[in-house]
Amino acid sequence: MRVLITGAAGYIGSHTVVEVLAAGHEVHALDNFVNARPGSLARARDLAGRDFGVTRADVRDRVALDRVLAAFRPELLIHFAALKAVPQSVATPLPFYSANVAGTVTLLEALAASDCRRFVFSSSATVYGDPATTPIVETAPRSATSPYGRTKLMMERILEDIAASDPTWSIVLLRYFNPVGAHPSGMIGEDPIGVPGNLMPFIAQVAGGQRHELAVFGDDYDTPDGTCLRDYVHVVDLARAHLAAMDWTVAGSGACEAFNLGTGRGHSVMEVARAFSEASGKAIPIRFAPRRQGDVARLYADPTRAKRMLNWRAERGLAEMCADSWRWQSLNPHGYAAVVRVGKMDESGVGTGLDVARYAAATP
Ligand code: UFG
């Protein structure tokens, strides 16, 4: 299949590019590189041993989208492109509504005008808000605790409405729990720009000596050790779920289906810190800090539906997540900043290779 991937240079996007290429599909990557570095795509190309086109464009740029769609003629789209920093979405919500909601609408309009109606959407467990019960099933009530969460919820609703209005669409909503880890090669991984907001990349930088301690946000939750429980899922498992979702869109057209992607197990912040310390052989100094606004005590998936309908299940456990994350961190202490010369990239049309040299210098 020809697969167009938006937000392809991001953390989950780049891992998915590798898996989609490895499965024999054609890929075209689209990214505006606002929150990701082009070096990830250069590494993805090296890992997969195959080249693919890259376009630097924003999903709100209809002219650029039309050019890519006309030239590449995708049969399926995987939509990652979005802003995701929860605290930033509270401070400045408009850019989130614009990039996430308006961006998705523009993308859908462009797709509707072309012949591509298979859509795999990067959603999030954030759409469950503060769930009344765990593990969470897909039919649990949806709500949001931040503007970021509301954008994901709105995007899901838009996609449901589109599928209900026109049976030629085939849409999958993949609700990720907490994606962590890195490709086992250590060549691609999470490269947060600025101070990491999420737990695992922060711990990785503590282990790497870039930060001196981990602040644990809250130790008085109603959980076994008082710290929050989350369902951490290895990013390679997650990337492979997109292949299963792709298969589903081919078999099950005319619907919009949601799937939880998690392991079904909750791990506490303290457990993650301990597991990372074991995997890296480094001490992770801890400081207990007040609760972080908006955090919920427990969030973990019931992943049964993905197993039953997509035949997908997470295979990698916490030790492997930490070991792979540490390999990436120790081999690339500055992320992709050091990756330079790698080929050609088109500014707003269809490129056939990667040229990140110009952008590597421009991105912080
Ligand atoms: N935590 C710390 N210290 C840190 C960072 C995080 O103690 O420095 C704690 C948090 O308080 C939380 C846990 O580690 O209890 C996990 O926090 P993350 O920020 O890694 O992940 P979240 O569960 O808050 O959020 C993630 C994604 C969101 C997504 C959500 C859905 O970042 O985009 O999962 O489940 F919406």
pLDDT digits (tens, 9 = 90+) for 72-109: 999 999 999 999 999 999 999 999 999 999 999 999 99
Residue among 121, 325, 106 nearest 236 (CA): 325
Whole-angstrom distance, CA of residue 151 vs CA of residue 196: 21
What residue type is 44 in one-letter code?
A
Whole-angstrom distance, CA of residue 318 vs CA of residue 285: 19
Q: Is the CB of 198 under 6 A from ligand 1?
A: yes
- Give the whole-number percent of the chain exceeding pLDDT 70: 92
Ligand 1 centroid–CA 217 distance in Å is 10
pLDDT at 29 over 60: yes
* pLDDT number for residue 361: 34
Q: What is the pTM of this model?
A: 0.94
* pLDDT number for residue 68: 96
Ligand 1 centroid–CA 200 distance in Å is 9
Q: What is the DSSP letter of 83?
A: -
For the question of residue 148 being annotated catalytic, the response is yes
Which residue has a Cα nearest atom 28 of ligand 1? Answer: 126
Ligand 1 centroid–CA 196 distance in Å is 10
Which residue has a Cα nearest atom 7 of ligand 1? Answer: 216
Reported as a single tens digit per residue, the pLDDT across 229-239 is 999 999 999 99
* pLDDT number for residue 156: 98
Whole-angstrom distance, CA of residue 339 vs CA of residue 40: 8
Whole-angstrom distance, CA of residue 65 vs CA of residue 67: 5
pLDDT at 355 over 50: no
* Phi (first) and psi of residue 7, to 5 degrees: 65, 30
* pLDDT number for residue 339: 72
Q: How far is CA 51 from CA 41, 157, 233, in A?
A: 10, 35, 28
- Give the whole-number percent of the chain exceeding pLDDT 90: 88
* Phi (first) and psi of residue 172, to 5 degrees: -120, 130
Which residue has a Cα nearest atom 27 of ligand 1? Answer: 178
* pLDDT number for residue 344: 57
Given the residues 11, 148, 221, 232, select the one marked as catalytic.
Answer: 148
Neighbours of 137 (CB within 10 A): 15
Compute the Cα dihedral for 288, 263, 122, 43 and give only its sign.
positive
* pLDDT number for residue 183: 98
Q: Is the CB of 230 under 6 A from ligand 1?
A: yes
Tell me how long the chain is.
Answer: 364
Reported as a single tens digit per residue, the pLDDT across 57-67 is 999 999 999 99
DSSP 162-210: HHHH-TT-EEEEEEE-EEE---TTSSS----SSS--SHHHHHHHHHTTS
DSSP 97-120: IIIIIIHHHHHHHHHHHTT--EEE
pLDDT at 348 over 50: no
Which residue has a Cα nearest atom 33 of ligand 1? Answer: 84
pLDDT at 364 over 50: no
What residue type is 57 in one-letter code?
A
